[in-house]
Amino acid sequence: MKYILSVITIGSFLLLSCGKKDTGTTVVTPTNLTVNAVASTDNSGNVAFTASATNATTYDYDFGNGVFQTVPTGIVTYKYPASGTYSVNVIAKSSTGQTISQRTTVTVAVTQSLIFSDEFEANGAPDPSKWGYDIGTGSNGWGNNELQHYTNRLENAFVSNGTLKIRAIKENFSGSAYTSARILTQNKFSFKYGKVEVRAKLPVGVGTWPAIWMLGNNITTAGWPACGEIDIMEHKGSQLNRIYGTVHHPARFGGNADGGTRDITNATTEFQIYTMEWNATSIKFLVNGSVFHTVANTSSLPFNQNFFLIMNLAMGGTFGGAVESGFSNATMEIDYIRVYQ
């Protein structure tokens, strides 16, 4: 009897064990994803997106310009900062993490507004509400072995007859052989994304190094090149009609910077228009409306923060090269500078 009871007990245990079922979470898969995009007709850059999918609980939007957003309802209006055609990817996700995606293309028109300008109409010193000065020789010739001493004197930076003149002069001054000026909008005006347009006539003289450029607002804490640098226009007197457009950042700076050039005519005898167009996905350099270099911008680069403007005329240095022996003075002349956003 004991033997028979044991067999029955074991058999009952086996039967009960085999009768149990796996009650794990059921996988939920989203299906039937649709994405609709309607761009506004007022050139504001607004696009209304509607995404819908069966069994979806959230929607991840990639707006095609480096900006991402998670939307529980699937409905969102996004304002693009610049005109262009964008490839938008939407990922619908279920409660169990399963996904389905769909991509759509949207073309956006954006009318930019003027947010900063100087037309240089008032004679005398540059407008102090817009411009400050870098003074002296910096560290190791402003990091480039430059030869000039920057001043805030009228001899080196002044407005007359509707243009700003930045003038480099050969003279002994505080231990330097040249003087010049470097004016900037630091702590007065800065911006993130937009278009800068400058109409300028460049100086004549081997060894001159005029530049219209920008630095990140965080240079005082992050240092260079971590702050980022955007050179809208650089020129060297030894290459009379060659224009440079360049960016510097921690992965590419100095002699390894990301830049391009364009050869034009009459850079030093006529006014030309130098432009930089900047958004979350690209930085473009133009001369007289023609693009000559484009840099891909990403979230890993320092070009997604506020930058300030700089204009200067350096002498010699690592880029300007040796100054010709007969040099006496040279002037960069700026008709206007305008920033749109």
CATH no. for residue 36? 2.60.40.10
Contacts of 231 (CB under 8 A, 6+ apart): 211, 212, 213, 244, 245, 246, 247, 248, 259
186 and 335 co-located in one domain: yes
191 and 308 co-located in one domain: yes
- DSSP letter at 8? H
The residues carrying an active-site annotation are 229, 234
97 and 118 co-located in one domain: no
CA 249 – CA 243 distance, rounded (Å): 20
37 and 146 co-located in one domain: no
Question: Per-residue pLDDT tens for 260-300?
Answer: 999 999 999 999 999 999 998 899 999 999 999 999 999 99
Q: Residue 46 falls within a domain, yes or no? A: yes
Domain count of the fold of the chain: 2
101 and 127 co-located in one domain: no
CA 243 – CA 290 distance, rounded (Å): 12
Which pLDDT does position 182 carry in this prediction?
98
306 and 324 co-located in one domain: yes
126 and 222 co-located in one domain: yes
Residues in the chain: 341
74 and 121 co-located in one domain: no
Among residues 53, 85, 108, which one ends one of the domains? 108
247 and 268 co-located in one domain: yes
89 and 166 co-located in one domain: no
**Reported pTM:** 0.79
Averaged pLDDT in 10-residue chunks for the chain of 341 residues = 39 43 77 96 94 97 92 95 90 97 94 95 98 96 96 98 98 97 98 97 98 98 98 97 98 96 98 96 96 95 98 97 97 98 91
Among residues 108, 131, 157, which one ends one of the domains? 108
Domain holding 35, by residue range, is 31-108
Among residues 74, 108, 142, which one ends one of the domains? 108
The answer to whether the beta carbons of residues 336 and 117 sit under 8 Å apart is yes
Please, what sign has the CA dihedral across residues 304, 306, 309, 314? negative
The answer to whether the beta carbons of residues 305 and 216 sit under 8 Å apart is yes
